[in-house]
Each structure stands twice: as structure tokens, then as C-alpha cells.
Amino acid sequence: MKKEQVYTIIVTYNGMQWLDKCIKSIENQSQVIIVDNCSTDGTVAFIEKNFPEVILLKQAKNLGFGKANNIGLTYALNNGAEFVFLINQDVYVEKNIVEQLVLVANENVDYGIISPLHLKGKGEELDTYFSFCASKNEQYQKDAVTKQFSQIYSVPMVNGAAWFMPIKVVKEIGGFDPIFYHYGEDHNFCQRMFYHGFKIGIAPNIKIRHDREARIKKPIQLFSNSYFDKYEKQLKVNHANINVNLSKVTCSQQKRKYLKLIIKSMLFLNFKYLKGYYKQFKSITPIFKSIYKSRQITMKKGIHYIK
């Protein structure tokens, strides 16, 4: 297969600490598309100077992970790609990974997403969340003890740090749903894969390193922006899942739940909680409106969200 038939898509945002290593690990294996989300750390100038062969699609603002990937998918689709390989900016791949993934994909045509094994940055142990995803396959757990792996294992979901997909699947499923700005879009995409009859697999004989363990997660404060973002994301992940029926009653149930909390806050004269729960209550209707619209679109096959 020619290099140009596989397009690797990398969304960047202030990722200078990983970029050199990331791009060098993949640039000779496929055509690379970088969609930059308006980085301010010199990312664009660095790529233009050091990697002139990369297709660089510069954005005027931070579009988030899903929308930026959709731009890369659109370019790949319009330029004759047969496969796309989506990797994060903090991922390093092993040699000949594209060749190996093409082989696995051609031998397992019922799979819409094939993911390599995700190791932590130093390559010494499994990425924590990937380990959780892989554990959903009982046979994989057994084989992990002996280190004698099959070519591929089916799982319900795998995090989107390294996804290899046939373009024919993208044509049927579409791109990432724009109701997800950052986080949650990979869950939703996997849900849509299953709904439309494709499997999701991990190929443990093929490896990448996901260099993210050094990041420190800050605790989420009640009624902070992060708190409301997490609430919105969870509603969307749970209820935009087209494999599960959704009743309009669900929205009413959420509203009743927070209306009770509002009344309780009023009775105890807790104005901080009153203000916070009222804001949460007011967000429910527009969130569910976007969910209903999303489900109407994604239940149908088509190149949704890709121009």
C-alpha cells in the first residue's frame, strides 16, 4: 500500500513537549495531517520549519478535539485515503505500525476501529484507562497472563488516543459529533460504531506509547466551570447513546431532581447552592435539545459532520 493511502491525523494544541518525537515516529509511515487548534506555544512555526512534508491545517480558534479531527477526516476523505490513523499529539508509535495495522484491518473487515496496545510514556506498563477498556474482553485478560495474544480482541470501547479506521467506515458513520467539545466524543463514536454493526478491536501485538501520566488532575470544585462541563458531558455520553432508548421523560426527571435541590437550598437559605443548582437546572433543557438532535442524525448512516 502506498504511503499516501493512509493518512495519520494529529490534532495539536500547545503540544511542543511531545511534537518532535510524535511526528518523527510516524512521518515516514504515512502522510501526516496536523490540525492545529490555534496553539500559542510556537507549535505552528516549529512544524513549518522542521516538518515541511506535513499537511498543516491551521485553525483560527480552538475547535476542540472532535471538530478538529473532522477537518482532518474531511481532507483525508477528499484526497483518496483508504485508511485514517488518528493519534494524539502525546503518542509515539513503533516502527512499521501502519503496515501492521493495514494487515490487521484487511484481515478483520468487520472492525470499524482497531487500536494498538497503549503503553504509558516510558513503555513499561499499560496505560491505565486502556487497561480498563481491554479488561472488558475476558479472553484478552486470560491471554495477558501468558503473553500469548491473538491478532485482535473485541471490546465495547477504547479510548481515542490511537484509532485506525477504514475510510469506508467513516463514510457510513461520519465524523465526531460536535456536541462534544473535548472528552466524551470517543465514547459516542464507539456507541455509533456498534449501532451501525461494526466491531471495535484492540491489536495487542502492535504498540504505541501514550505519554500522559505526568499530568496532574485537579479536583473539581462544586459549581465550577469544570463541574458544569462534566455534568453536561455525562448527560450527553449517557443519553446520546443511540443503542439505548431515550424517553422525553428522562429530561423531566433530571429537571425534577434539581428542582428539589433548589427548593431545599431555599429552605435552608443556602444561596450558594441555590444559585448553583438553579444554573444546573437551567442547563438541562438545552442539553437535551442537542441530544435529541444528535440522535436523529447519528441513527442514520452517512458522512455526518464531515464536509
**11-15, 78-82, 167-171, 178-182: the lowest-pLDDT one:** 178-182
- Rounded Cα–Cα distance for residues 269 and 292 (Å): 36
**Same domain, residue pair 45 and 91:** yes
**Same domain, residue pair 197 and 242:** no
- Asked which of 186, 210, 234 is the last residue of a domain, the reply is 210
**Same domain, residue pair 201 and 239:** no
- The CA angle 108-170-63, to the nearest 5 degrees, is 135
**SS3 state at 66:** helix
> What sections of 115-176 are H helices per DSSP?
128-134, 138-146, 167-173
| Grid-cell match 442524525, residue found | 297
The pLDDT value recorded for residue 2 is 65
**Same domain, residue pair 102 and 174:** yes
Query: Stretch 247-271: mean pLDDT, rounded?
Result: 94
CA 80 to chain centre: 23
Indicate whether 86 belongs to any domain.
yes
Q: How confident is the model at residue 3 (pLDDT cuts 50, 70, 90)?
A: low
The pLDDT value recorded for residue 275 is 97
- Asked which of 182, 210, 238 is the last residue of a domain, the reply is 210
Query: Stretch 176-181: mean pLDDT, rounded?
Result: 94
Question: Of 229, 238, 228, which Cα lies nearest the Cα of 280?
Answer: 228
Residue range of the domain that includes 30: 3-210
**Same domain, residue pair 196 and 242:** no
User: Considering its fold, how many domains does the chain have in total?
Assistant: 2
Q: What is the CA radius of gyration of the chain?
A: 21
Indicate whether 34 belongs to any domain.
yes
Indicate whether 87 belongs to any domain.
yes
The pLDDT value recorded for residue 115 is 98
Indicate whether 234 belongs to any domain.
yes
The pLDDT value recorded for residue 258 is 96
Flag whether pLDDT at 23 surpasses 80: yes
Contact between residue 257 and residue 281 where contact means Cβ atoms under 8 Å apart: no
- The CA angle 235-239-243, to the nearest 5 degrees, is 150
The pLDDT value recorded for residue 248 is 82
Contact between residue 173 and residue 99 where contact means Cβ atoms under 8 Å apart: no
The pLDDT value recorded for residue 270 is 96
**Same domain, residue pair 168 and 271:** no
Indicate whether 256 belongs to any domain.
yes
Flag whether pLDDT at 4 surpasses 90: no
Indicate whether 217 belongs to any domain.
no
| Grid-cell match 478538529, residue found | 68
- Rounded Cα–Cα distance for residues 73 and 71 (Å): 5
Flag whether pLDDT at 1 surpasses 70: no
- The CA angle 248-253-255, to the nearest 5 degrees, is 105
**Same domain, residue pair 101 and 242:** no
Indicate whether 264 belongs to any domain.
yes
- Rounded Cα–Cα distance for residues 260 and 245 (Å): 26
Indicate whether 125 belongs to any domain.
yes
**Same domain, residue pair 160 and 282:** no
**Same domain, residue pair 261 and 135:** no
List CB contacts of 232: < 8 A, sequence separation 6 or more.
283, 287
Beta strands in 105-264 (DSSP E): 111-120, 153-154, 162-166, 199-210
Q: How confident is the model at residue 181 (pLDDT cuts 50, 70, 90)?
A: confident
**49-58, 150-159, 175-184, 280-289: the lowest-pLDDT one:** 175-184
- Asked which of 178, 210, 242 is the last residue of a domain, the reply is 210
How many Cβ atoms from other residues are within 10 Å of residue 282's Cβ? 11
**SS3 state at 12:** strand
The CATH number given to whatever domain includes residue 108 is 3.90.550.10
The pLDDT value recorded for residue 182 is 79
**Same domain, residue pair 111 and 31:** yes
**Same domain, residue pair 181 and 145:** yes
**Same domain, residue pair 88 and 197:** yes
The pLDDT value recorded for residue 183 is 84
The pLDDT value recorded for residue 217 is 75
- All 3 cell numbers of residue 295? 440522535
User: 300: buried, middle or exposed (CB in 10 Å: 19+, 13-18, 0-12)?
Assistant: exposed
> pLDDT tens digit string along 206-251?
999 999 876 677 899 999 999 999 999 999 999 999 999 998 889 9
Contact between residue 66 and residue 160 where contact means Cβ atoms under 8 Å apart: no
Contact between residue 291 and residue 235 where contact means Cβ atoms under 8 Å apart: yes
